[in-house]
């Protein structure tokens, strides 16, 4: 199972609200050859780390493709760029964020040449805005390194990471 997190907290001049931008991103994923086969609800989430920037809309999808991790990540970055993503401030506001969370059971630290993504995503277990929607898509998913399930990972996250399911 290939899992991708989606997030946005800034309106897009083309697509509108963060939620509308994420809906458009789902279509862009399919057009890029990453077939969306399952998707979570959308969640309104506090920024991490806590800041005064607008809250995010987040979700997770499962996609199917014959592509390996590096080409999948490359396509995600191209979609972000097409939507106007600028990577200038770490953890800053963004029009669109697409993160490769997992690619099957592959565990990678980027070795041997550094051109593979780190898998699973190195901070997914620390982020309620990823884990809550991930539970919608793959409730039985376990972290391939430490073996914890989503409920166990969520239990380790503090209350400052607020998530609210959107209607």
CA distance 109 to 119: 7
Neighbours of 61 (CB within 10 A): 27
- Name 31's Cβ contacts closer than 8 Å, sequence gap at least 6: none
pTM, to two decimals: 0.94
Residue 160 is predicted with a pLDDT of: 87
Q: How high is the pLDDT of residue 52?
A: 85
CATH number for the domain including 148? 3.30.70.560
pLDDT at 112: 61
Domain interval for residue 159: 2-165
- Could you list the active site residues? 85, 94, 97, 99
Q: What is the mean pLDDT of each run of 10 residues along the chain (167 residues)?
A: 97 96 98 98 90 94 96 96 83 90 91 76 95 97 96 93 94
Q: In the chain, how many domains are there?
A: 1
CA 165/CA 167 separation, integer angstroms: 7
Do 53 and 70 form a contact (C-beta atoms < 8 A)? no
Label each residue of the chain as H, E or C: CEEEEEEECCCECCCECHHHHHHHHHHHHHHCCCEEEEECCCEEECCCCCCCCCCEEEEEEEEECCCCHHHHHHHHHHHHHHCCCCCCCCCCCCCCEEEEEEECCCCEECCCCCCCCEECCCCHHHCHHHHHHHHHHCCCCECCCCCCEHHHHHHCCCCCCCEEECC
């Amino acid at each position: 199972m290939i899992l991708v997190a989606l997030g946005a907290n800034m309106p897009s001049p083309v697509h509108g609200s963060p939620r509308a931008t994420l809906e458009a991103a789902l279509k862009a994923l399919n057009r890029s050859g990453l077939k969306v086969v399952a998707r979570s609800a959308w969640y309104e989430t506090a920024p991490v780390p806590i800041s005064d920037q607008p809250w995010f809309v987040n979700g997770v999808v499962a996609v199917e493709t014959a592509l390996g991790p590096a080409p999948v990540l490359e396509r995600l970055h191209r979609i972000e760029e097409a939507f106007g993503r600028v990577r200038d401030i770490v953890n800053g506001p963004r029009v669109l964020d697409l993160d490769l969370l997992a690619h099957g059971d592959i565990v990678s630290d980027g070795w041997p040449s550094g051109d593979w993504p780190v898998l699973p995503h190195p901070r997914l277990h620390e982020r309620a805005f990823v884990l809550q929607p991930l539970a919608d898509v793959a409730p039985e998913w376990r972290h391939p390194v430490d073996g914890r399930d989503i409920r166990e990972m969520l239990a380790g996250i503090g209350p400052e990471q607020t998530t609210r399911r959107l209607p």
